[in-house]
A and B are shown apart, each in its own frame.
Chain A
Amino acid sequence: MESGGNNAAMTLSELRPGQQGEVVRIDSADSAFKRRLSSLGLVPGAPVSLDRAAPFGDPRIYIVMGYCLGLRNIEAASVNIRLKECAS
């Protein structure tokens, strides 16, 4: 895993509109929760972007594997990602 540039570790809940991220790992002690997120497509290497947020900023909709996935910020915070270069 090389790092540098914009690749500082961050979580899905910090992803801003227009940014492209890539899942690094899911940080959770709850194995069932991890399996649940990974079966929805949040696996290492999967590209993610932010679609929009609900009226009060939580939950938010992400685009994963070409579909819309709604997640609360507290759960998105357990998904570690890194930013992709192509984003602007």
Chain B
Amino acid sequence: MMWAGVLVACASCYVLKLAGLSLPTRVLQDPRVQRTVPLVPVALLAALVATQTFSTGHHLVLDVRAAALAAAVVAVLLRAPFLVVVASAAVTAALLRLV
């Protein structure tokens, strides 16, 4: 099941890329498409940040991951590179679990 999901997702992403290069420009130049598509990643990434920080299964929780996210926010504000942002969150969570 995992493999099927992985491969279908890979195929979908490839078709989207190919569609951009292949479809007649008027389809994708529709102002509604132009305006809406860039908003989708903003909303989805924000929803991913929220759900993966403040929930476990179907429960809303506040645990060390919130502190880890706060560390990541500080790293982002300091314009740290991607890997440093991710590492700062992981290290914060690991250290807080030790105490």
Tell me, yes or no, whether A binds B.
no
B contact set with A: CB distance below 8 Å = none
A contact set with B: CB distance below 8 Å = none
